[in-house]
Structure formats: C-alpha cells, structure tokens
C-alpha cells in the first residue's frame, strides 16, 4: 500500500495587497520600498495592477493588514493620491485548507476593519483547497 501524504492543517498563509488602477502604480510600489515584496506591478490588459506582500514572515491576518495600512498611511502625497484614485484596493487574506481542524477562525479586529474602510479598501478571503487534492476529486 503506498504511503499517503499528510495534508497540512488549515492555516493562515499570508495577505496580498492587490491594487487595480487606470494609472501606472510603479511609483506607489517604489514608495513602499523594501518593506514589501512585489509579486507583480505593471499593465494588466488596458489597466494597471500591483500585487504585494509584506517583507518578512507574516504574523496573523490582522497584524499583516494593520502593517500594510500603516505603510499606506505614510505614503507621500502624490503616491497617496494614486492610492486614492485606484479603482480597487484589496487585502486578500490567504487561507490554506486542510483536513483538520474541522473549523478554524482567523480574527480581523474591528479597528482593522475600520482602518481598511477609511483607506477605501476591502478585505477578501481567498481559500486554497487542500494541497494533495486533485482538481475535481475530494481527498479521502
């Protein structure tokens, strides 16, 4: 009988900051400096996008979102205007699904939600299926 791979437990992976705009976002990303990891910045069809993660290991979803908010609040005026004019600003909370535990909570505090709203952004929950699951098949 072949050995079965253990599916990792459900856990928080990271928060990506996804920004979509009609203008080039490079200067905004450059202003954030080495505090972020740029996954992508540039054209996406007729528009522009930037997809970022915080540099370093993530803590919780809440602390990661708060750290991003602090960086955004400290942007220089021109880059803050670019942020404000973006069509979409999304904090995408990544959760890796596993077989255990049956239920798992990832808390976002009220003050964090208020700050995100003040910045004109939203929180998106992205759940990734169990790592050993094949598309279209439910793991045993």
pLDDT at position 58 over 50: yes
Model pTM score: 0.84
Examine residue 26 and state whether it is found in any structural domain, yes or no. Answer: yes
Examine residue 1 and state whether it is found in any structural domain, yes or no. Answer: no
Sign of CA dihedral 93, 29, 35, 87: negative
Examine residue 3 and state whether it is found in any structural domain, yes or no. Answer: no
Examine residue 37 and state whether it is found in any structural domain, yes or no. Answer: yes
Give the range of the structural domain holding residue 22, as residue numbers without chain letter: 11-128
Examine residue 47 and state whether it is found in any structural domain, yes or no. Answer: yes
Are the CB atoms for 8 and 59 separated by under 8 Å?
no
SS3 105: coil
94: nearest Cα among 56, 125, 53, 69: 125
CATH no. for residue 42? 3.30.70
Q: Which residues of 5-42 are buried (b: 16+ CB within 10 A; e: fewer)?
A: eebeebebebbbbbbbbeeebeebbebbeeebebeebe
Examine residue 139 and state whether it is found in any structural domain, yes or no. Answer: no
The per-residue pLDDT for 138 is 47
The per-residue pLDDT for 2 is 53
Examine residue 133 and state whether it is found in any structural domain, yes or no. Answer: no
Is pLDDT larger for residue 115 or for residue 135?
115
Task: Report pLDDT digits (tens) over 89-133.
Answer: 999 998 888 878 877 888 899 999 999 999 999 999 988 888 765
Examine residue 77 and state whether it is found in any structural domain, yes or no. Answer: yes
The per-residue pLDDT for 127 is 86
Q: How many domains are contained in the chain? A: 1
- With a CB cutoff of 8 Å and minimum separation 6, the contacts of 123 are 65, 90, 91, 93, 108, 113, 116
pLDDT at position 11 over 50: yes
Query: Which residue in this structure is represented by tokens 């919780």?
Result: 60
The per-residue pLDDT for 129 is 83
Q: What percent of the chain has pLDDT over 70?
A: 89
Average pLDDT in the chain:
89
């Amino acid at each position: 009988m072949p050995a079965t791979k253990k599916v990792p437990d459900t856990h928080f992976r990271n928060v990506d900051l996804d920004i979509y705009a009609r203008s080039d976002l490079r200067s905004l990303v450059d202003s954030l400096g080495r505090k972020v990891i740029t996954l992508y910045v540039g054209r996406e069809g007729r528009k522009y996008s930037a997809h970022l993660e915080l540099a370093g290991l993530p803590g919780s979803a809440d602390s990661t979102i708060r750290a991003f908010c602090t960086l955004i609040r400290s942007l220089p005026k021109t880059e803050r205007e670019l942020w404000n004019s973006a069509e979409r600003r999304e904090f995408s909370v990544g959760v890796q699904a596993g077989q255990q535990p049956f239920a798992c909570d990832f808390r976002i505090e009220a003050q964090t939600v208020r700050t995100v709203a003040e910045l004109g952004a939203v929180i998106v929950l992205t759940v990734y299926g169990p790592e050993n699951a094949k598309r279209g098949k439910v793991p045993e």
